[in-house]
Chain A
Amino acid sequence: DAGITQSPRHKVTETGTPVTLRCHQTENHRYMYWYRQDPGHGLRLIHYSYGVKDTDKGEVSDGYSVSRSKTEDFLLTLESATSSQTSVYFCAISKQTGNNQPQHFGDGTRLSIL
């Protein structure tokens, strides 16, 4: 398995609180991604990073921000969590971009916003 660690693995919090999820990789891959997974939707891209301090928005970026200060860490922040952000969040990495490059995934973080 690719060396990807997501933390925490589970979190329950209240509406309006800030939440930060961490993705740590040991592969030294340039590209990192945050997805959310909801029933009936597959995975949807929130934000991605193509290098330290280089990030861009994905399909469902509203309400989320990211930061990448080191190659190995990619943080996803919900500034003020809402119940619609209850989901399973996956981090992924890839060595390069290009349309034949697979992504490798962490085990996910299950986030519940009450």
Chain B
Amino acid sequence: AQSVTQLDSHVSVSEGTPVLLRCNYSSSYSPSLFWYVQHPNKGLQLLLKYTSAATLVKGINGFEAEFKKSETSFHLTKPSAHMSDAAEYFCVVSDSNYQLIWGAGTKLIIKP
């Protein structure tokens, strides 16, 4: 069965410094992977998706993620954090029935 583990429940960085949000997955086949973002009291917005075309995926707002099959990881990065990036981020894998399996989320805190 597919599963997703987000390794940090909270990440705190200073504005202007790099962001790393970690995600490991388990899948018995070549998965599709997504990152979603949720700002406070808002719905969920798709940041980026991996569908086997390229291992480095660029998303919106300067985020990108790298699929590493050998490490079963799909970490989300951004070179320079902005205050508006403060939100909760979810790593998601699509299972064999095309349903989405969600990680528990990582809250990103940006310090001025």
Interface residues of A in 55-104 (CB under 8 A from B): 58, 90, 92, 97-104
Assess the B51–A42 pair: CB atoms within 8 A.
no
Assess the B43–A106 pair: CB atoms within 8 A.
yes
Q: Is the interface of B mostly helix, strand, loop or mixed?
A: loop
> Complex formed: what's the CA distance from A101 to B97 in Å?
12
- Chain B interface: which size bin? 20 to 34
Residues of B in contact with A (beta carbons under 8 Å apart): 4, 9, 31-32, 34, 42-46, 49, 51, 90, 94-96, 98-100, 102-105
Assess the A42–B102 pair: CB atoms within 8 A.
yes
- Chain A interface: which size bin? 20 to 34
6 contacts between A and B (CB under 8 A): A40-B9, A42-B102, A42-B105, A43-B44, A101-B98, A107-B43
Provide the residues of chain B in CB contact with A98, threshold 8 Å. 98
> Complex formed: what's the CA distance from A8 to B36 in Å?
24
Residues of A in contact with B (beta carbons under 8 Å apart): 4, 40-45, 48, 58, 90, 92, 97-108
Assess the A43–B102 pair: CB atoms within 8 A.
yes
Between A48, A98, A100, the greatest number of chain B beta carbons within 10 A of the residue's beta carbon is seen for A100
Assess the A45–B94 pair: CB atoms within 8 A.
no
Provide the residues of chain A in CB contact with B96, threshold 8 Å. 99
- With beta carbons under 8 angstroms apart, the residue of B31, B32, B94, B103 that contacts A42 is B103
Assess the B46–A104 pair: CB atoms within 8 A.
yes
Assess the B43–A90 pair: CB atoms within 8 A.
yes
